[in-house]
Structures are given as structure tokens and as C-alpha cells.
Amino acid sequence: MIPLQEQNTCVIGLQWGDEGKGKIVDFLAERADAVVRYCGGANAGHTVRIGSEKYSTHLLPVGVLRAGKMNVIGNGVVLDPAALFREIDELAARGIAVTPGNLRISYKAHLVMPYHVLEDGAREQSSEGTAIGTTRRGIGPAYADKMMRATALRVADLLHEEKLRQRIARVVTERNKVLRALYDLAPLDWKQVFEQYRDFGRRMGPFVEDTTFLLLQYAREGKRVVFEGAHAALLDVDHGTYPYVTSSNCSGLGVYTGAGVPPQMVQNFQGVVKAYSTRVGGGPFPTEQDNNTGNYIRERGNEYGTTTRRPRRCGWFDAVAARYSADLCGVSAVAVTLLDVLSGLDHVQVCTAYKYRGSHLPYFRADMDILAEVEPVYETLPGWRGNISGCRKFGELPPEAQQYIKRIEQLIGAPINMVSVGPERSAMLIR
């Protein structure tokens, strides 16, 4: 039996992504033995700033940036081998080695194939008025195939070359017909796809493992594991703002299936919110500020997508949404990031409730039609000035910034245990 692993933590974004999860995971990884990614794929973009060096990971857990940490890509991830090896090669060029000694990949993870990427892009481009605003990394089509089963490929399939050849020949031939009929796309050459994936398989082989077995072993040894949530609770395919979500259970609820571990292994959920809100892609965003305030936040926060460079939509902190996510994920504490970005504003606003058709909506509804109509009810708090990136104690923050943190803590209903005041690894204060 696996005893309770109270030392393990799962880090979850409580908004629409890009909350600074990468930075928080990197912080927690210092005292951990392993970091596990369990959902999504190369649509994620997690940034860690170490001194003047900036690292962005997409598929790799950010634990690769620290020596001596094991990193695991769990079964719940959809893995694009081209993206994975690109990332590994880019890090190698910067002196960071990712080898089978510090990265293990679940044989059960599904593969993102070239036709998934083509389909994602073509569907987005051709869907008049119904585009999701995806990252076009093939995520939706790859997860759809996973559920479809008959046309899906997993990491394990890369290791059996003759079967891989037969499967790719069948699937690519079938998919070409669909891509042609729906999007008028030129056919893919299945032999080329096979050769490319066969070569990926040869390179990936030494990384492949039964990662559930490995993580259970870690549990028995009392090793400390950080589970790196990607995306965020409001992008969860079941609990987010559907259909403007990603295709995995990227709230905290997906960690068990995605990492392939029992509940005893993940008891502690660390939420992450930024001090305001952002969203990339389509979908309702009640507190959006498509105005000078939004522009101020975007420029100061460098709010441009880590993966696609798209400008992020910016707005005030939405406590209704954050409370929903915090409750859903059962967080025991919340980190607030990017507080420094709000410096210099006369006032800051926080959404404390929604009005819907004249009545008060006290809770979040993950229903597109309702969210598109709600009016945020704001509370106005005093702003603060000056550069706060050097603060390392809560008491060093301007009183108005302290008041802001205390108020959003009250509204979220969970203690705020960390405040990040700059992109750099050390720009953080612990409460």
C-alpha cells in the first residue's frame, strides 16, 4: 500500500493560463526529487528567468533546469516528438543536458502526428466564427484520436517498427481522405511520416519507461515530487469555459489520471494566480480591459504568448473565477505572481461578483452563454507606486499592495503563501 505522500505538491493555474506556474514549479523543484508533467502538450509555455537568462519550456518539465532532478512526462501528455527533440536540442545548445538520466517518458503517452497539426490549423482557419483560438499545435485532434482509439498512436508504438509502419500507412491514408475532403489539403506521404517517426522512436527509446511504476517507487522511498500543471483550471475540458478550453483535464482533478498515480500521492494543491487576469485565444473574459488599462498591463507584464507570441487579452483580477478554480482544485494555498506589474496605477479593481440579467450571480458558471453576458461588480482599491521587485518580505511591500493581497486572499478563500514580484527566480517573497 502507498502511504500518504504529504511532501508532494501539484501546481495549478487558477485562471486561463500563464499565471507563472513555471516560476512556482521551479521554486518548489529546488527541494524536490522529481517534476512531473501530466497533461497537455507543446501548447504550454512555462518561463523561468535565471539571472539574465530566460528559459521557456513547452513539453519538458521545468525541473530540467535544475541539476540532479528527475523529470517525468506522464501518460496524460500528448507528445509531439519533433517539438520534444527541438526543445532538448535548444537546451543542449545552452549547456543544459536532457538525457535518459534526467527525463523519463511514459510509454502510454499519446503522440501528436503531423496530420493533427495540419488539422488543427486548417480547422481554425476555416471555421467561420467558431474558431477556438488554439495554439495550432495539434492538441485537440491528438486527444480526439486518443478517445477514438482505432487511429491513435502511443509512445509504445514507436518501439515496434514493423507494426508502426503498418499502422502509419493505414492511418495516414485514411486521414489524407479526411483532410482532402474537409480542407482541400495535399496528402501526406505515409512513408515519409513513418521514417520520421521511426527515427524519433530510435532516439526516444532510452527515455521510455513505465512512469507509474517509477513514481510508485519514489513514493515508497519517500521522495518528493512536484506535479507541474499546465494550462489552468479554466481551460479544463470538463470544468473550464467550454468550448474555449484546451482538450485535457488540466485542472488539479486531472493529475491522477494524467500522471498515473493514486490519490495518496497528491494531497497538496498549490494554486497560482497572477495579480490581474489574462487570456489568449477566444472565449468569454468578464473582466477584460480592452483599453488603456489593458495596454498598460500588457506592456508592463510583457503579456505576449510564450508559445505563439500572440498578445494576451488583459483585465482586472476576477475573484469569482479564481474562487471557483481554487475550490474545484482543492488548493491549500495560492501564489500570487506579477504583482509588480500593477505598480504605478492610481487605483486597482477587483471583480467580487457578477450581475446576470439584473440579478446577483454569487458563483462562477462555466457556461459560455451566461459568462458572455455577465457584468462584473468591481471593488476599487488604492494603487501603489515604485519598483517592488526588490521586496523580499511581505512587510516591505507598500501598504496598498499588502492590502490588495489581503483582499484577494479573503475573496479567494485560501491563504496566499507566496508573492512573486519580478520574473527572476529570486524575486519572490514567502509569507
Q: Is 20 in the site for ligand IMO (CB under 6 A)?
A: no
By DSSP bridging, strand 34-37 and strand 225-228 are: parallel
At 6, which amino acid appears? E
Residues 118-157, one symbol each (x = binds ligand IMO by CB under 6 A, - = not), give --------------xxxx-x-xx-----------------
Q: What b-and-e string marks burial along 107-121, b requiring 16 or more CB atoms within 10 Å of the CB?
A: bbbbbbbbbbbbbbb
**CB-wise, 294 or 422, nearer to ligand GDP?**
422
In whole angstroms, how close is the CB of 199 to ligand GDP at the nearest point? Answer: 30
Angle at the Cα of 272 (from 269 to 278), degrees rounded to 5? 145
| 8 A C-beta contact, residue 236 and residue 254 | yes
Interface with ligand IMO includes 281 (CB under 6 A)? yes
On whether the CB atoms of residues 137 and 120 are closer than 8 A, the answer is yes
- Contacting Mg ion within 37-56 (CB under 5 A): 45
Cell digits of residue 328: 474545484
Q: Which stretch binds ligand GDP (CB under 6 A): 12-20, 170-178, 202-210, 377-385?
A: 12-20
Q: Does 325 bind ligand IMO (CB under 6 A)?
A: no
Which of 340, 345, 353, 411 touches ligand GDP by CB under 6 A?
Answer: 340
Cβ-based nearer residue to ligand IMO, 114 or 133: 133
Q: Phi, psi (5° rounding) for residue 335?
A: -100, 135
Q: Count residues binding ligand IMO (CB under 6 A).
A: 24
12, 16, 22, 172: residue in contact with ligand GDP (rule CB under 6 A): 22
Given 9, 75, 241, 246, the residue binding ligand IMO (CB under 6 A): 246
Q: Which is nearer to ligand IMO, 168 or 255 (CB)?
A: 255
Strand 277-279 vs strand 313-315: parallel, antiparallel, or unpaired?
antiparallel
Other CB atoms within 10 Å distance of the CB of residue 295: 14
**Least Cβ distance, residue 245 to Mg ion (angstroms):** 15
> How many CB atoms are closer than 10 A to CB 132?
18
Residue 290 among the catalytic residues? no
CA–CA distance, 81 with 78 (Å, rounded to integer): 10
Region for residue 153 given its phi and psi (left: phi exceeds 0; alpha: psi -120 to 50; beta: otherwise): beta
Is residue 237 part of the contact set for ligand IMO (CB under 6 A)?
no
Please report how close the Cβ of residue 336 comes to ligand GDP at its closest, in angstroms: 8
Among 43, 75, 287, 289, binds ligand IMO (CB under 6 A): 43
Q: Give the helix, strand, coil percentages of the chain, each rounded to 5.
A: 40, 20, 40
> Which one of 33, 46, 145, 157 is the catalytic residue?
46
Residue closer to ligand GDP by CB (options 340, 409) is 340
Nearest alpha-carbon partner for 34 in 127, 114, 104: 104
Q: Compare residues 253 and 341 and give the one whose CB is closer to ligand GDP.
A: 341
Q: Grid coordinates standing for 107?
A: 510509454
- Concerning whether 46 is annotated as a catalytic residue, the answer is yes
Residues contributing to the site for Mg ion (CB under 5 A): 18, 45, 306
Q: List active site positions.
A: 18, 46
